[in-house]
Amino acid sequence: MLKLKYLYENYDLVKFALKNWEYDTETLDDCLQHFRISSNAVYPFLWHGNMRFLRLSPVSEKIENNLKGELEFLCYLQSRSYPSVIPVASNSGELVVTLDSIWGKYYASVFNGADGNSIEDTDCNDHIVYAYGKTLGQLHILSAEYSPKIRKWTYRDVLLWIGKTLEKYHAPHKMLVELEEVQQALDVLPQTNDSFGLVHYDFEPDNVFWDETRQCCTVIDFEDGMYHFFLLDLEQALDALLENIPADRQMIAKTTFLRGYQSVKMLEPDYAEKLKLMRRFCNLYSYARLIRCIDEEYPDEPDWMVELREKLHRKIIFFENSVMG
């Protein structure tokens, strides 16, 4: 998540960025009202009546090779006919534009909109959940065959960043112990083409769209991808999916998702035990991002920011309480 100071809308910055792409001027202002800001600022707009999305990120908040590596991977997936969001080159042919503006330096990219509705906005019936799992399995098969020119960071790079963040923001000692234990446990797992590669990381129901007409999924938001064990995506997807499912359907939904996944990619026999380790990694990463996000306080914070800070602080406490020590 971005630092809180970046969570304000900035329509002037958006229009400055969009000089690098074509757009429908008559609908722009209305479209921009539907922005969202979390780990990036995302603004919708139309070109020839078709939905596109501008993504803006402060340069200080991102790693350039991770952004470029994401877009290279998306182009690879497109070449393999995988149903993922499609990046749109700027007027000068760039997939990532670096903006030097009066508001600071930003990275800008544009993506075509995905057809259909996010899975979290569907009824999550068995047919959709099966397709959801199958789409993840297909992604992992393609990832295992992928040889990038621009390599994104690995889980070891992420753990190094987490460690520096925990120390900088004075996290409790037990969180540093948890970090060491998670790293040791991950490092002894065998890394094979079947088990390890470039993962999506956020393969959650809000990032996978279901197109009822074409009866298929489309995947968006690959930015947080890293080199990790494929089981991490499985843990993230199942954890988020079950939050969208009534308690009496959760077991069936989980089984259906796994059947979809295993229709194209087999799971190792001891996968269930390893999912617990993946959850510990995800919790640590979320924790580090959150303590960094809310550390700075600003004069005259609006009510929504005060409330958001309190909400995020409760999440921080939850993560701390989930670690023994």
Is 132 found in the same domain as 95? no
The answer to whether the beta carbons of residues 179 and 163 sit under 8 Å apart is: yes
Q: Is residue 169's pLDDT more than 90? A: yes
- pLDDT per position as a tens digit, 192-233: 999 999 999 999 999 999 999 999 999 999 999 999 999 999
Shared domain for 22 and 147, answered yes or no, is no
pLDDT at 46 over 90: yes
Segment 178-202 shows an average pLDDT of 97
pLDDT of residue 299 exceeding 90, the answer is no
**Residues 186 and 314 reside in one and the same domain:** yes
Question: pLDDT by residue (tens digit) across 137-159?
Answer: 999 999 999 999 999 999 999 99
Beta 117-118 vs 208-211: how paired, if at all?
antiparallel
Q: Which of the listed residues 112, 137, 153 is the one where a domain comes to its end?
A: 112
The answer on 187 and 82 residing in a single domain is no
- Domain ranges, residue 60: 4-112
Q: Are residues 139 and 103 in the same domain?
A: no
Contact 72, 147 (CB under 8 A): no
Predicted pLDDT at 161: 98
Percent of the residues in the chain that have a pLDDT greater than 70, as a whole number: 100
Give the domain-ending residue among 94, 112, 130. Answer: 112
- 8 A C-beta contact, residue 261 and residue 231: no
- 133 with 242, same domain: the answer is yes
- Shared domain for 107 and 123, answered yes or no, is no
Q: Domain containing 275 — which CATH number?
A: 3.90.1200.10
What tokens does 253 get?
Answer: 């939904």
Count of other CB atoms within 10 angstroms of residue 266: 11
Model confidence band, residue 1 (pLDDT cutoffs 50, 70, 90): confident
**pLDDT of 73:** 98
Identify the pLDDT of residue 128: 98
Tell me the one-letter amino acid at 146: Y
pLDDT of residue 122: 96
Mean pLDDT of 1-30: 94
**Structural domain count of the chain:** 2
Same domain, 239 and 280: yes
Q: 87-88 and 97-101 as β-strands: parallel, antiparallel, unpaired?
A: unpaired
Instruction: Tell me the C-alpha distance between 217 and 227, whole Å.
Output: 23
- Which of 112, 136, 161 corresponds to the end of one domain? 112
CATH number at residue 83: 3.30.200.20
- What's the pLDDT score for residue 3? 86
Q: Are residues 99 and 135 in the same domain?
A: no
Q: Are residues 203 and 232 in the same domain?
A: yes
295 and 243 belong to one structural domain: yes
What does pLDDT average to over the chain? 96
- Report pLDDT for 192: 95
The reported pLDDT for the residue numbered 297 is 85
Do the Cβ atoms of 39 and 2 come closer than 8 Å? yes
User: What pLDDT is stored for residue 266 in this prediction?
Assistant: 96
pLDDT over 80 (residue 325): no
Look up residue 240 and give its two tokens: 């988020």
Distance, in Å, from the CA atom of 87 to the CA atom of 111, rounded to the nearest integer, reads 4
Pair 148, 277: CB distance under 8 Å: no
Is the same domain home to 284 and 255?
yes
Of residues 297 and 265, more confidently modeled: 265
Question: Per-residue pLDDT tens for 72-91?
Answer: 999 999 999 999 999 999 99
Q: CA-to-CA distance for 96 and 100, rounded, in angstroms?
A: 13
